Amino acid sequence: MPTKPASTERDSSSSHVTVHDVARVAGVAIGTVSRVVNGAPTVTKAVRDRVESAIAELGWTPSVAAQAMRGVSAHVVGFIFSDIRNPLYAAMVKGAEDVLSEHGYMLMIASSDGRSEREVALINLFKRRRADGLLFTVEEESNAEVRRCIEASAYPVIMLEREMDAAMGSVGAAHMDGTRHAARHLLSLGHRRIALISGGRTNKVGRDRLAGFVQAHQQAGIPLDESLLRLDSFASDYGFRETQLLLDMKNRPTAIVAAGMHLLHGVLRAIRIKGLQIPRDLSLIASNDSPLAELATPSIDVIRYDAYDLGQKAAQLLLHRMNNKNLTASPRIEIPTEFILRESCAAPPVV
């Protein structure tokens, strides 16, 4: 005990006070201590009081590890995403945490950096730690290795913004609606060459956005030029580069839909450099909403959805799965998207 000159009131090093210590101080058996903390009804008021004061005196709290060995859940949920620096994930995490902490669960987070091997490693880590469930934004929905790993782990998994298996629970935003709405808006303004910059070729978000985009064109009877689809990344740099390429085309688009949190930054930079005026020379719609979209000059129309709510819903679904192991609830929840009209869209320039 060479830690401190006995500053705090209690004697024992406080490091490892156990039921036995409490039992000794209270003058009861360890079983009784356990009964008291677990609220067993068969305990005399007198004994309960003695035990409780002993607990308070020693500052004892049951070891989660020891409880876990007796089959008591550690009340831990894992959350795997690519990178928490994406504000959408941060909001989802906060939403999930708010719901889970209310039910006594804590959140263990881990970044995959978009690598499937890392995802597999993380799932195994959570398994070793006997996590009670998993919130997961998988990188590639079709990855066989990851899928096998999840199945082998056999605990409740809820996918966020992804969909792997019909049976697995999932929560996601209505990206098809949102993107369809955005494209329809541009088409109705008279745009005929609309570019879509986005990522997620290997997941539901990307698929739904493309589907909505295509649908809007089909319903309007407007052919879609595939050379205007840039669907390989959500990164700001990708938005920057592809916007430059798009604007250098002979027959360049008159509008851009930039669907991905970080894309707007790169897209705007490229437009600035090119010296184009929004919306006079080029219309623009982004997703999701952000301070940048709201306060850029001009302000940017966006497809918005509530990532915090998405995280909450996912946590609720997971709680449900964890409690009713066999009962299969609504397997998928969809969060609505809304279209925010601002100043970044106008009729296309006359050529």
Selected from 24, 47, 299, 347, the binder of DNA by CB under 7 A is 47
> Which residues between 223 and 262 bind a second copy (CB under 8 A)?
236
Count CA atoms within 13 Å of residue 220 on its CB side.
23
| Distance, CA of 288 to CA of 265 (rounded, Å) | 12
- Select the residue interacting with a second copy from 91, 135, 159, 256 (CB under 8 A): 91
Query: What percent of the chain is helix, strand and coil (3-state, nearest 5)?
Result: 45, 15, 40
Binds 330: which of a second copy, DNA, none (CB < 5-8 Å by kind): none
For position 13 contacting DNA by CB under 7 A, the verdict is no
Is 272 an interacting residue with respect to a second copy (CB under 8 A)?
yes
Residue 33 or 256: the one with the smaller Cβ distance to DNA is: 33
3-state SS, residue 23: helix
Residue 90 per-residue DSSP state: H
Residue 217: closest CA among 177, 258, 253, 187: 187
Kindly tell me which residue out of 12, 13, 14, 63 binds DNA, with binding defined by CB under 7 A. 63
**278: which 2 tokens?**
């929004």
Residue 244 token pair: 């430059």
Determine if the peptide bond prior to 279 is cis (ω within 30°).
yes
Written as six digits, the tokens of 205 are 């978000």
DSSP secondary structure letters along 235-265: -HHHHHHHHHHHHTSTT--SEEEEESTTHHH
In the complex with a second copy, the residue whose CB is nearer, 86 or 202, is 86
Q: Which of 10, 12, 13, 20 binds DNA (CB under 7 A)?
A: 20
Stretch that binds a second copy, among 82-90, 138-146, 213-221, 331-339 (CB under 8 A): 82-90
Here's the x/- map for a second copy, 294-313, by CB under 8 A: it reads as: xxxx----------x-----
Burial class from Cβ neighbours inside 10 Å (0-12, 13-18, 19+) for residue 351 reads exposed
Residues that bind a second copy (CB under 8 A): 2-3, 7-8, 13-15, 59, 61-66, 68-69, 74, 76, 83-85, 87, 90-91, 93-94, 97-98, 101, 106-111, 124-125, 127-130, 148, 151-152, 154, 236, 264-265, 268-269, 272, 290-292, 294-297, 308, 325-326
Residues that bind DNA (CB under 7 A): 16, 18-20, 27-35, 37-38, 42-44, 46-48, 60-63, 66-67, 69-72
